[in-house]
């Protein structure tokens, strides 16, 4: 099979010798080769002739289209049909035989192969192609392959390939491994920029660019758009305006295999083609005749929110690596042009590589598969990027709820049954539950509809899509119905075809947290998980009282429902009976400053009914009252003057002495409400009913009995002046303050201090009329310094009061001088 000699003009041919030598010396290698280098087809064929390769080679591609195209290309290079030496294996289409040596598979297929045969018996090499896309299944598949290699198959070869790759990180992960680089494109690509005006929709910019390039340059055009919706809108706007000799062809994942294959076939002689594609065409495939690429610079990527269990699609900027990959499509067969619909300076601001899916995905399938692998913590496997702990915890909680795992994360029998169905855990649980209820076929059909884009049409209403799915006679629909039958048999539900079963009763088993009730008018709903979602008012389902939502897109309360079914009748009654709960609700009403108590029947976060209660649970009522304090702040509480002073004294000692004296600032008190406030407010339902004495007791509890014994000594409430007067000390500022008439301190030679003499009081020295004369932190210094100026000023104003020349030696007094003296 010396096919490599026939393709010596492809760049990767120059490094094949180095790659083969590397894999003879060490089990792992990383190959970085630019688009058009020929790595996807030449490398597997070259490896077939290696002495260590006696079994099969598994080539893993990120998409079905790429897998089929790669298999067909290699088979044609051998002069064979697909399914002989080279075959492919994917979810709805498999072409392999006993003699197949190279199997091109999708990432999910390889993961299942590894999980079902932990030795990968008969497989000598696993190749991960286009690894830069960092799909979750690819990361997991590589982690499994490395685990198999280290524990069971030391001779297994692992090769990671990509055009744009962080080669150093991947090489370190595969250690021992050799990195090989293939330089240069097959053909030069001229990069141009066509800045899109601010506010202009991407469809308008793309149409303008296509029309301009179609008129000024030769060759077919490949245009990258973020999703199916944008593709269809651009196609509609282009219409037949490019002329009778140009075909406009969409290319996205929901199309049938025949439609996808038609898009990548070369145009007939004398014709041109404009292919409108999602990133499905970004790598691994060659669209013959394309020499112009127009890149929107956008990508639609899933973003998982662990707090809600919802994955939403978000349109974002593509990475620099992705932009390079897309531009490379223009130089696969001849020199080309890549036009980028953004300003040239914006390229530097793009992320270097696409965010790995493992960092922003629902990890429930990964956690379930890891449990089947015997690894309760996915992070123990060798991932390039470890899975986030929050997403793992959320996934484990869901799997425990679905009955797949026990509390320790170990696989349960139900979990093994779910894994056998090759479905996402939610849908697998739905099919298994249906098997017990007698309508497995409908549930199986639903699971296929929800995992295969475009089946049954694009209606939001899943009942409508089920009907269309059963009537569809296309090859893809027939293959999908065969898959549904296999799922039915695997779940133990028999092989009957789906009848007239409704979707909602089954969807409840998969998405109990997404049961939704209409709120605020037609088309507006709130789900059991507390999130809001919307439907266009023109949709039939917009008027339903209850839905079960299977798919959404968007953020927060504006999430748009993409797929749902109406829940009503006996099915709704059963759900409410089985899943609703009755409990007391105590909430704080800020306007009236009172606790409102009700007996509430709920379906998750959905309140179904409410009945007022006059005597709520005292603990719940106190907690609601504490929530009111959090909203309004401690200043809203009826602290007495004594309690306020106690709080200030304790706060002063905390600031000056630290522990064990507690912080009594607003923030600190709010953080510890459950210690000093809530326990003293049982049966209290309003701020007006709070007894100020309970606040005093709460503060004492916060301070602690031992501290209170020292409180009067360290932070006394009063200062006893030399005259015997008890003068209050203020603690409401940054430091303690004593406001005292100056005559009462005569004879005092030391500055008054508290806290065991460690903290001097700030003296506000007052005139006989209680007006400030001066402040000081050094009374002896005041006597010997500025007193003479004060004396000179004051003796004329207050002649009946003593103003001695030496106040430190004078007798203190509260009285005036006798008349005549």
Q: Which residues have a Cβ under 8 Å from the Cβ of 116 and sit 6 or more positions away?
A: none
How much of the chain exceeds pLDDT 90, in percent? 67
- For residue 708, what are its two tokens? 């209170």
The pLDDT of 221-231, averaged and rounded, is 92
3-state helix, strand, coil in the chain (%, to 5): 40, 20, 35
SS3 of 491-524: the string is: CCCCCCCCCCCCCHHHHHHHCHHHEEEECCCCCE
Helices (H) and strands (E) in the chain, counts: 27, 31
Q: What is the distance between the alpha carbons of residues 265 and 9, in angstroms, rounded to a whole number?
A: 22
Q: Which of the residue ranges 91-105, 446-460, 659-673 would you say has the lowest mean pLDDT?
A: 446-460
Q: What is the pLDDT of residue 1?
A: 47
345 touches 197 (CB < 8 A): no
pLDDT tens by residue, 268-318: 888 999 999 988 777 667 777 888 999 999 988 877 776 666 666 778 899
CB atoms within 10 A of CB 477: 20
pLDDT tens by residue, 44-90: 999 999 999 999 999 999 888 889 989 999 999 999 999 999 999 99
Q: What is the pLDDT of residue 303?
A: 76
- For residue 289, what are its two tokens? 């005749």
- For residue 215, what are its two tokens? 């008129």
- For residue 790, what are its two tokens? 């004060």
pLDDT tens by residue, 677-701: 999 998 899 999 999 999 999 999 9
The pLDDT of 90-118, averaged and rounded, is 93
379 touches 367 (CB < 8 A): no
Q: For 399, how many CA atoms within 13 A lie in the half-sphere containing its CB?
A: 36
Q: Which residue has the tokens 């709080």?
A: 647
Position 4 pLDDT exceeds 60: no
Among 535, 579, 578, smallest CA distance to 560 is for 535
CB atoms within 10 A of CB 724: 9
- For residue 703, what are its two tokens? 């301070």
SS3 160: strand
SS3 541: helix
Rg (CA), the chain: 39
Q: Which residues have a Cβ under 8 Å from the Cβ of 219 and sit 6 or more positions away?
A: 272, 289, 290, 291, 292, 334, 336
Q: What is the distance between the alpha carbons of residues 790 and 767, in angstroms, rounded to a whole number?
A: 10
Q: What is the pLDDT of residue 286?
A: 72
Q: What is the distance between the alpha carbons of residues 198 and 606, in angstroms, rounded to a whole number?
A: 41
Q: What is the distance between the alpha carbons of residues 439 and 728, in angstroms, rounded to a whole number?
A: 82
Q: What is the pLDDT of residue 760?
A: 94
Among 546, 728, 723, 720, smallest CA distance to 645 is for 728
pLDDT tens by residue, 499-538: 567 999 999 999 999 999 999 899 999 999 888 999 999 9
Q: What is the pLDDT of residue 495?
A: 45
584 touches 617 (CB < 8 A): yes
62 touches 356 (CB < 8 A): no
Q: What is the distance between the alpha carbons of residues 744 and 766, in angstroms, rounded to a whole number?
A: 10
Q: What is the pLDDT of residue 158?
A: 97
Q: What is the pLDDT of residue 755?
A: 87
Q: What is the distance between the alpha carbons of residues 581 and 584, in angstroms, rounded to a whole number?
A: 10
- For residue 68, what are its two tokens? 């089929």
Q: What is the pLDDT of residue 253?
A: 79
CB atoms within 10 A of CB 172: 13
Q: What is the distance between the alpha carbons of residues 50 and 102, in angstroms, rounded to a whole number?
A: 13
SS3 546: strand
* CA triple 12-15-18, angle to 5 deg: 150
The pLDDT of 582-604, averaged and rounded, is 92
The pLDDT of 641-648, averaged and rounded, is 95
The pLDDT of 531-553, averaged and rounded, is 93
624 pLDDT band (50/70/90 cuts)? very high
Q: Which CATH number fits domain 3-181: 3.10.20.30, 3.10.640.10, 3.40.50.300, 3.30.930.10?
A: 3.40.50.300
Position 2 pLDDT exceeds 50: no
* CA triple 553-556-558, angle to 5 deg: 65
Q: What is the mean pLDDT of the chain?
A: 90
Q: Which residues have a Cβ under 8 Å from the Cβ of 741 and sit 6 or more positions away?
A: 765, 766, 767, 768, 770, 814
- For residue 765, what are its two tokens? 């020295």
pLDDT tens by residue, 328-354: 888 777 889 999 999 988 988 888 888
Q: Supply φ then ψ for residue 566, to 5 degrees.
A: -75, 140
Q: What is the pLDDT of residue 744?
A: 94
Extended strands (E) in 152-256: 157-162, 177-181, 189-193, 220-224, 246-251
Q: What is the distance between the alpha carbons of residues 223 and 231, in angstroms, rounded to a whole number?
A: 9
Position 17 pLDDT exceeds 50: yes
Relative orientation angle of helices 462-471 and 440-451, to the nearest 10 degrees: 100
Query: Per the CATH hierarchy, to which homologous superfamily does domain 189-359 belong?
Result: P-loop containing nucleotide triphosphate hydrolases (3.40.50.300)
Q: Which CA distances in Å does 720 have to 514, 744, 807, 813?
A: 70, 10, 18, 13
pLDDT tens by residue, 363-419: 999 999 999 999 989 989 999 999 999 889 999 999 999 999 999 999 999 999 999
Among 712, 739, 743, 733, smallest CA distance to 816 is for 743
| Domain pair 3-181 / 189-359, same fold | yes
Which H helix or E strand runs over 149?
Answer: helix 136-151
Q: What is the pLDDT of residue 5?
A: 54
- For residue 500, what are its two tokens? 């007239």
Q: Give the pTM.
A: 0.72
Position 185 pLDDT exceeds 70: no
Q: Which residue has the tokens 């691994």?
A: 284
Q: What is the distance between the alpha carbons of residues 240 and 258, in angstroms, rounded to a whole number?
A: 23
121 pLDDT band (50/70/90 cuts)? very high
363 touches 387 (CB < 8 A): yes
Order of strands, sheet of 177-181, starting from the edge strand that comes earlier in the sequence? 94-95, 86-89, 102-106, 56-61, 123-128, 157-162, 28-32, 177-181
**Alpha helices of 253-388 — where are they, by DSSP H?**
257-264, 320-328, 364-373
Q: Which residues have a Cβ under 8 Å from the Cβ of 679 and sit 6 or more positions away?
A: 622, 698, 701
Position 752 pLDDT exceeds 90: yes
194 touches 338 (CB < 8 A): no
Q: What is the distance between the alpha carbons of residues 45 and 6, in angstroms, rounded to a whole number?
A: 12
Position 6 pLDDT exceeds 80: no
430 touches 451 (CB < 8 A): no
CB atoms within 10 A of CB 174: 24
Domain definitions of the chain by residue range: 3-181, 189-359, 420-578, 580-715, 721-809
Q: What is the pLDDT of residue 361?
A: 87
Q: What is the distance between the alpha carbons of residues 102 and 113, in angstroms, rounded to a whole number?
A: 15
Q: What is the pLDDT of residue 439?
A: 86
């Amino acid at each position: 099979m010396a096919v490599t000699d026939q393709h010596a003009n492809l760049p990767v041919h120059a490094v094949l010798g180095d790659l083969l030598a590397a894999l003879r010396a060490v089990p792992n290698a990383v190959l970085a080769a630019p688009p058009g280098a020929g790595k996807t087809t030449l490398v597997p064929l070259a490896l077939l002739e290696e002495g260590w390769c006696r079994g099969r080679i598994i080539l893993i591609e990120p998409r079905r289209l790429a897998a089929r195209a790669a298999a067909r290309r290699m088979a044609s290079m051998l002069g064979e049909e697909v399914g002989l030496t080279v075959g492919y294996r994917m979810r709805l289409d498999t072409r392999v035989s006993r003699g197949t040596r190279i199997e091109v598979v999708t990432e999910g297929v390889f993961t299942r192969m590894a999980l079902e045969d932990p030795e990968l018996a008969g497989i000598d090499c696993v190749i991960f192609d286009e690894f830069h896309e960092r799909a979750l299944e690819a990361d997991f598949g590589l982690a499994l392959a490395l685990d198999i290699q280290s524990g069971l198959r030391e001779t297994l070869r692992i090769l990671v390939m990509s055009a744009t790759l962080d080669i150093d990180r991947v090489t370190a992960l595969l250690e021992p491994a050799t990195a090989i680089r293939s330089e240069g494109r097959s053909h030069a690509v001229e990069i141009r920029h066509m800045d899109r005006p601010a506010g202009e929709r991407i469809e308008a910019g793309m149409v303008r660019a296509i029309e301009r390039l179609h008129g000024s340059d030769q060759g077919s055009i490949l245009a990258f758009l973020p999703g199916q919706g944008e593709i269809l809108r651009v196609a509609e706007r282009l219409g037949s305006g490019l002329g009778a000799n140009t075909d406009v062809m969409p290319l996205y994942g929901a199309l049938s295999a025949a439609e996808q294959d038609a898009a990548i076939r070369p145009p007939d002689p004398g014709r041109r083609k404009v292919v409108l594609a999602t990133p499905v065409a970004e790598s691994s495939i060659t669209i013959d005749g394309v020499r112009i690429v127009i890149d929107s610079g956008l990508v639609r990527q899933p973003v998982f929110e662990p707090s809600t269990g919802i994955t939403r699609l978000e349109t974002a900027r593509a990475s620099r690596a992705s932009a390079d990959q897309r531009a490379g499509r223009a130089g696969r067969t001849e020199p080309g042009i890549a036009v980028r619909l953004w300003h040239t300076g914006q390229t530097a601001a793009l992320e270097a590589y696409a965010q790995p899916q493992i960092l922003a995905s629902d990890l429930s399938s990964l956690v379930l598969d890891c449990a089947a692998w015997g690894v309760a913590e996915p992070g123990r496997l060798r991932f390039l990027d470890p899975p986030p702990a929050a997403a793992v915890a959320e996934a484990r909680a869901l799997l425990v709820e679905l009955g797949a795992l026990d509390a320790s994360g170990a696989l349960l029998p139900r979990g093994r049954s779910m894994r056998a169905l090759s479905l996402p855990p939610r849908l697998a649980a739905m099919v298994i539950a249906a098997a017990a209820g007698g309508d497995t076929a409908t549930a199986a059909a639903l699971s296929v509809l929800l995992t295969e884009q475009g089946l049954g049409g694009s209606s939001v209403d899943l009942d409508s899509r089920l009907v269309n799915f059963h009537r569809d006679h296309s090859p893809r629909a027939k293959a999908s119905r065969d898959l549904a039958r296999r799922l039915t048999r695997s779940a133990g539900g028999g092989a009957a075809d789906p009848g007239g079963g409704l979707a909602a009763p089954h969807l409840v088993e998969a998405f109990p947290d997404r049961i939704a009730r209409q709120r605020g008018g037609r088309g507006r709903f709130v789900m059991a998980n507390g999130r809001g979602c919307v439907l266009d008012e023109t949709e039939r389902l917009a008027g339903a009282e209850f839905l079960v939502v299977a798919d959404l897109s968007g953020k927060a309360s504006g999430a748009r429902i993409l797929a749902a079914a109406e829940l009503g009748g006996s099915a709704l009654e059963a759900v409410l009976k089985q899943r609703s709960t009755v409990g007391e609700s105590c909430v704080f009403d800020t306007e009236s400053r009172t606790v409102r108590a009700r007996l509430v029947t709920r379906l998750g976060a959905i309140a179904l009914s409410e009945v007022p209660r006059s005597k709520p649970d005292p603990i719940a009522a106190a907690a609601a009252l504490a929530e009111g304090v959090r909203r309004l702040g401690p200043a809203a509480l009826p602290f007495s003057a004594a309690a306020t002073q106690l709080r200030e004294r304790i706060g002063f000692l905390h600031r000056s002495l630290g522990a064990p004296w507690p912080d009594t600032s607003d923030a600190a008190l709010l953080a510890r409400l459950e210690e000093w406030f809530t326990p003293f407010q049982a049966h209290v339902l309003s701020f007006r009913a709070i007894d100020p004495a309970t606040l005093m007791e709460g503060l004492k509890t916060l301070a602690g009995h031992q501290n209170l014994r020292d409180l009067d000594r360290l932070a006394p409430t009063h200062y006893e002046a030399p005259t015997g007067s008890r003068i209050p000390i203020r603690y409401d500022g940054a430091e303690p303050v004593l406001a005292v008439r100056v005559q009462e301190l005569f004879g005092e030679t030391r500055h008054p201090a508290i806290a065991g003499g460690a903290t001097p009081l700030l003296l506000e020295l007052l005139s006989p009329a209680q007006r400030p004369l001066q402040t000081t932190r050094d009374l002896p210094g005041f006597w010997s310094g500025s007193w003479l100026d004060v004396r000179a000023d004051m003796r004329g104003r207050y002649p009946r009061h003593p103003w001695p020349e030496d106040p430190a030696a004078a007798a203190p007094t509260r009285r005036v001088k006798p008349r005549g003296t």
